[in-house]
Amino acid sequence: MIAGLRATRGPLLNPLAAGGVDYWPDGVLVGDEHGRIVAVGAWDELAPRLGLDAAAVPRSAGLILPPLLDAHIHIPQHPIRGRFAEDIGADPPGGRLLASLEKNVFPAEGRCEGPAHARHVVADFLADTLSSGVIGGAAYMTVHARATRIALEQLPAPWSVGLVLMNGRCPEYLRTDEPGLAEDVAALARDFGRRLIVTDRFAVSVDTPLRKAGVALARRHGLRMQTHLDEQRAEKMLVEEVLYPDAGTYTGVYARDGLLDCEPILAHCIHMRPEEVDAIAATDASIAHCPVSNTLLGSGVMPLDTIRAAGISHALCTDVGASPTTSLFCEMAQFLKVHAGSSSTATPEEALRLVTVAPARMLGLADRLGTFAPGLEWSFIEVVCDSPVPATARKAILGGLLRMTEDDLGRWRQPDDPCASAVARLRDAGLDWGHDLAVLEADVRATATRLERRVRRVVRAGDVIWDSRGA
Ligand code: GUN
Ligand code: FE
């Protein structure tokens, strides 16, 4: 073996920057002493070419794939993940989202005002995301500059973090310090650069003067923004008919105030009018698609084919705490299920691309992460896979990563299946709030339990940063 080279051997999935997924049942990923990829491909081809010695190259603990990235997740909600909508009735006035924020979410976020608690929450978040094979992304912290700094300090560089703006329809204890905002952003931007994201929570909780102040600060410091958009019908009505009756649409609020020009990551984008899709497609905005959250909160189904046809970049994200788990495998499974009956582009290969290549590009990390190619980081995860070794990429993703059969997936295309029909009603706003939601929630929770704790090792630029045996 050539001095300085290191390698890991096993079934290997490589989502490609140019589209598609490569798969080798017996593959190898070769790196150099600087933690950069030298080569990726079939063992039989690369071993002789690079002089790799079978006895010296360790076998992976399972499927090898690029580390995962989550471009929409809430750190202060990690302690209440899966309990976001706890004790919220099926269909409260104003919708499940607004009721959940008030009852469960805002109190959890308020607790991060204390630095000891914030440190503890961020540490748990880091350990848990790593155990799910997630090594970076874009997270929301809270309105507190001190808690945001703690998150930026404790999380490694592939994580960006948002200081959240809010000044309305939120508790007094959870309001942005508006007089101190410019100074807070300047100090965080000086120390962390573009890892700081200016975060407009959503149009319900941010008025136009505060949003414009955020946009001006983002421009001054060269930062991007993130927000929520068109998540629930009741929320959309409140924004368009009560709060901003002259903005045209929900998206119109963000367009008019300049947010759309700040490379925003827009979470959800479910209830979109055609002009909203066009407005977003005309900018550098991208969409965080969160199928688990959209199911459990009864929000709806993102119009995948419309978003894809418009050429808007999008990635699969957990939106924890609305999801019970940081597992992006659970998100991939839910993506396949909710789009099974309506979209032919929701394939296992595409699901894998949407948690690797796609978010890497959205997050500005594509020169380091997201795929295996020479010169990128020798970073990968190993995921246990029920034997035998899968023969194709589709089998490796569906059976190996998601533990689903073709029959399981086919069920979601049967109009008379209880889950499939519940999804159809979720899409058409005809959800039977009590019954359908219970059916879908039971399925999501079973999937989460089945797919958690299957990552064995996480390697970043040559260093083992997580190992299930030491966790
Ligand atoms: N809209 C505004 N805030 C939130 C949040 O914390 N979670 C979700 N799912 N939607 C939001
Ligand atoms: Fe969210």
Ligand 1 centroid to residue 233 C-alpha, Å: 14
> How confident is residue 109, by pLDDT bands cut at 50, 70 and 90?
very high
- Do residues 115 and 241 share a domain? yes
Q: Whose CA is closest to 275, among 302, 245, 306?
A: 306
Per the prediction, the chain carries an average pLDDT of: 97
Phi, psi of 349 (to 5 degrees): -60, -45
Do 44 and 139 belong together in one domain?
no
pLDDT at residue 90, as a whole number: 87
State whether 109 and 195 are in the same domain. yes
Model pLDDT, residue 175:
98
Q: What is the arrangement of strands in the sheet containing 159-165, beginning at the earlier edge strand? A: 68-74, 134-140, 159-165, 196-200, 225-229, 265-268, 286-289, 314-316
The verdict on residue 412 lying in a domain is no
Tokens of 194: 């573009």
Domain check: are 25 and 45 in the same one? yes
The whole-angstrom separation of Cα 202 and Cα 228 is 5
| Domain at 356, CATH number | 3.20.20.140
Q: Across residues 13-32, what is the average pLDDT?
A: 97
Domain boundaries, position 308: 68-362
The whole-angstrom separation of Cα 361 and Cα 383 is 23
User: Residue 144 class from Cβ within 10 Å (0-12 exposed, 13-18 middle, 19+ buried)?
Assistant: buried
Confidence class for position 395, pLDDT limits 50, 70, 90: very high
Query: Would residue 166 count as lying in a domain?
Result: yes
Task: Find tokens 């299946």 and name the residue.
Answer: 417
Residue 389 sits in a domain of what CATH number? 2.30.40.10
- Say yes or no: 389 and 289 in one domain: no
Decide: 276 in ligand 1 pocket, CB within 6 A.
Answer: no
- Summarised one tens digit per residue, pLDDT across range 315-362 is 999 999 999 999 999 999 999 999 999 988 899 999 999 999 999 999
| Predicted pLDDT of residue 199 | 99
Mean pLDDT score, 14-42: 97
* Res 1: pLDDT: 66
What per-residue confidence (pLDDT) applies to 386? Answer: 86
**Tens digit of pLDDT for each residue in 61-92?**
999 999 999 999 999 999 999 999 999 988 89
Same domain, 41 and 104: no
Q: Ligand 1 in contact with 293 (CB < 6 A)?
A: yes
Query: Interior CA angle at 160 toward 183 and 326, to 5°?
Result: 135
Sheet containing 21-31: order of strands? 37-42, 21-31, 6-15, 63-65, 380-383, 455-460, 463-467
Dihedral pair phi/psi, residue 26, rounded to 5°:
-125, 90
Cα gap 98→140, rounded to integer Å: 17
Residue 471 has pLDDT above 80, yes or no: no
Structural domain contains residue 304: yes
pLDDT at 417: 97
Q: Are residues 52 and 164 in the same domain?
A: no
pLDDT digits (tens, 9 = 90+) for 167-191: 999 999 999 999 999 999 999 999 9
CA distances to 28, 78, 221, 359, 445 from 70, rounded to whole Å, are 26, 14, 24, 7, 19
Q: Are residues 61 and 149 in the same domain?
A: no
Handedness of CA 176, 177, 182, 183 (dihedral sign): negative
The distance from CA 376 to its chain's CA centroid, rounded to whole angstroms, is 22
Q: 185-191, long-range: CB within 8 Å, 24+ apart, which pairs?
A: 185/217, 185/221, 185/223, 186/217, 186/221, 187/145, 188/145, 188/148, 188/149, 188/152, 188/163, 189/221, 189/222, 189/223, 191/149, 191/152
Indicate which residue's Cα is closest to atom 3 of ligand 1.
Answer: 201
16 has a pLDDT exceeding 90: yes
Q: Do 30 and 142 fall into the same domain?
A: no
Ligand 1 pocket, residue 277 CB under 6 Å: no
Closest CA to 78 of 130, 28, 39, 26: 130
Q: Give, in degrees to the nearest 5, the angle at Cα 20 between 16 and 22.
A: 70
Quick one: tokens of 417?
């299946």
Q: Is pLDDT above 80 for 3?
A: no
Question: Who's near 116: CB < 8 A, 6+ residues apart?
Answer: none
201 C-beta closer than 6 A to ligand 1: yes
Atom 11, ligand 1: which residue's CA is nearest?
228
Last residue of a domain, one of 362, 386, 409: 362
Q: In this predicted model, what pLDDT tens digit does every residue of 229-271 receive, in sequence order?
A: 999 999 999 999 999 999 999 999 999 999 999 999 999 999 9
For the segment 388-406, the average pLDDT, to the nearest whole number, is: 97
Q: What is the pLDDT of residue 437?
A: 96
pLDDT given at position 387: 81
Q: 395 in a domain, yes or no?
A: yes
Q: Is the CB of 268 under 6 A from ligand 1?
A: no
Residue 214: partners with Cβ closer than 8 Å, 6 or more residues away = 165, 181, 198, 200, 206, 225, 259
Distance from C-alpha of 147 to C-alpha of 419, rounded to nearest angstrom:
40
Distance (Å, rounded) from C-alpha 33 to C-alpha 160?
27
Say if ligand 1 is within 6 A of residue 244 CB.
no
Pocket test for ligand 1, best of 74, 77, 88, 169 (most atoms within 8 A of CB): 74
Q: Has residue 393 been placed in a domain?
A: yes
Query: Rounded to an integer, what distance in angstroms lies between the CA atom of residue 46 and that of residue 41?
Result: 7
In a domain, 21, yes or no: yes
The tens digit of pLDDT for each residue in 281-291 reads 999 999 999 99
pLDDT at 20 over 80: yes
Using a 6 Å cutoff on CB, does residue 228 contact ligand 1? yes
Q: Are residues 57 and 82 in the same domain?
A: no
Nearest alpha carbon to residue 141 among 113, 120, 163: 163
Are 186 and 328 in a shared domain? yes
What's the average model confidence in pLDDT over 131-144? Answer: 98
CA distance 460 to 133: 11
Q: 418 lies in a domain? A: no
pLDDT value, residue 434 = 93
Q: Are 382 and 253 members of one domain?
A: no
Residue-level pLDDT at 470: 82
Q: Is residue 50 part of a domain?
A: yes
Tally of domains in the chain? 2
Q: What is the pLDDT of residues 408-464, one digit of tens each?
A: 999 999 999 999 999 999 999 999 999 999 999 999 999 999 999 999 999 999 999
